[in-house]
Chains A and B, each alone.
Chain A
C-alpha cells in the first residue's frame, strides 16, 4: 500500500512539519507523506540538506538518483536496520562455495528463461510466428542444468537472450532496427527503453532488498564486485521479462511511445522528459497490479513478488526450504 514518489521537477527537498517537502522554483510544492512512502526517485535537479537526508534515514526511505538523461546514478541507502549477522554469514558461505553458488545461480537463470519463454509463447499464441525461437529456447533451457560453472551458465544465458532478441522484431509492430542489445550508449529506441526500464527494476529490487535482511552486495549469478548492489541485479533478472519486456511490447505496440519521444539528434539515446514520465507511470501501474497468489491465497502486487523472492532466498540460505525462483503461472 505504500507509495513511491517520482519527482521530476527541479527545486528544493526539505524537511518541514515532519514530512519531506519538495518545493519547485515557482512556489508549487508537494508534501511527501513520510509514513506511507517506500522510496523516492529524483529525476530533476534537486538541492537538499543533511537534515532532510537524516530524516529520510530515520524513516528508512531509500532515495534513487537519476541524472539529466534519465540514467541511474546511485541511491541514498539509509543505515541498514534489518541486519542479521547470521544471514550474512550464510550469504557469504553460499557465495564462496562454488557448488552452492551454482545452485542458486542456475535457479535464477532457469526461472528467468522460463519467463522469457512464456513471453515468446504468449505472442506466438497471438498470431506471430515464433515457432523456431520457441524450439531453440526449449533446447537451450535444457542445457542449464548441465552447466558446470558460472561462466558456462552466463554463456547459456547469453545464447538465450540472443534467441530472445530475434523475436523482438517480430513482436514489435513499429519499425525499429533492433538486432541485439547495445549498451553504453544504447543505439536505438528499444535499447534505450531497455536500459531505462532495467535501471528502474534494479532500483525497485534494491528497495525491496532493503526491507529484507539480505545484504545487497553479495550476489550469486553476477559477480559481487565493488560499488554495486549486485544482488538486485540477480533478482531483477527474474522479473525483467515480465516487468520490462512486456511493458516495452505494450508501449510500442499501442503506440504510446514512438519516435517523437526520443531525442533524435543523439541517435535515439535519450528519452524526452515527458516520455520518461509516461513510462514511469506505466511502470508504476504495472508494479501495483495484483495477481492472486496460489500458495499465499491472497492478492499480491508484482512489486511484492520481488519481496517474496528475497524471502525465498533467505529460506534457502538458512537451509529451511530450497529456493525455487518465481515462474509466471498465469
Chain B
C-alpha cells in the first residue's frame, strides 16, 4: 500500500533528539519529500515494523504521527503547485 506519513514533534524536553531519531527511522522505509513528510510504498508488515520502531521514541502526550494510506499509488492523484518534485520519489538518479 502507498503511505504518506507526516509527523509533528514537540520541541519540549528532549524534542530535538526525538525528532532526529524519528527522521532517521522514517528514512529507512519511506522517501523524504518535505520537512516532516514522507511517502512511499510499504507492505503491511513493514508498516508495523516502522510503527514499532517509532513507538520507542514517540511521546504519546506530545508528539503526533499521521499516516495516510491508499491501497495503491494509482488511487492517489498527486499535483505539484510550485516546484515539481517528481524525481524525489523516482528510483532513478
Say yes or no for B43: interface residue by CB 8 A criterion: yes
**A6 neighbours in B (Cβ, 8 Å):** 91-93
- With the chains together, A17 CA to B41 CA distance in Å? 20
Per-position 1/0 for B20-47, Cβ under 8 A of A:
0001100111111000000011110010
Q: How far is the CB of A286 from chain B (nearest CB, A)?
A: 14
**B30 neighbours in A (Cβ, 8 Å):** 33, 36
Q: How far is the CB of B49 from chain A (nearest CB, A)?
A: 8
Contact call B92/A17, Cβ cutoff below 8 A: no
**A7 neighbours in B (Cβ, 8 Å):** 92-93
**Interface-facing stretch out of A99-107, A160-168, A231-239, A277-285:** A277-285
Look across to chain B and name the residue whose beta carbon is closest to the beta carbon of A9: B93
Please report whether the interface of chain B is mostly helix, strand, loop or mixed according to DSSP.
mixed
Contact call B27/A30, Cβ cutoff below 8 A: no
Q: Name which of A33, A34, A281 has the most chain B CB atoms within 10 A of its CB.
A: A33
Contact call A1/B41, Cβ cutoff below 8 A: yes
Q: How far is the CB of B48 from chain A (nearest CB, A)?
A: 12
With A1-B42, A3-B91 in contact, is A36–B32 under 8 Å at CB? no
- With the chains together, A184 CA to B50 CA distance in Å? 47
**B42 neighbours in A (Cβ, 8 Å):** 1, 36
Per-position 1/0 for A6-17, Cβ under 8 A of B:
111100000001
Within 8 A of A (CB), among B71-93: 91-93
- With the chains together, A281 CA to B92 CA distance in Å? 8
Contact call B93/A36, Cβ cutoff below 8 A: no
- Selected from B28, B32, B43, B93, the residue in CB contact (under 8 A) with A5 is B93
- With the chains together, A317 CA to B75 CA distance in Å? 42
Say yes or no for A22: interface residue by CB 8 A criterion: yes
Q: How far is the CB of A58 from chain B (nearest CB, A)?
A: 13
With A1-B41, A30-B93, A36-B40 in contact, is A19–B27 under 8 Å at CB? yes
Contact call A34/B28, Cβ cutoff below 8 A: yes
Binding site for B on A (CB under 8 A): 1, 3-9, 17-19, 22, 24, 30-31, 33-36, 277, 280-281, 284
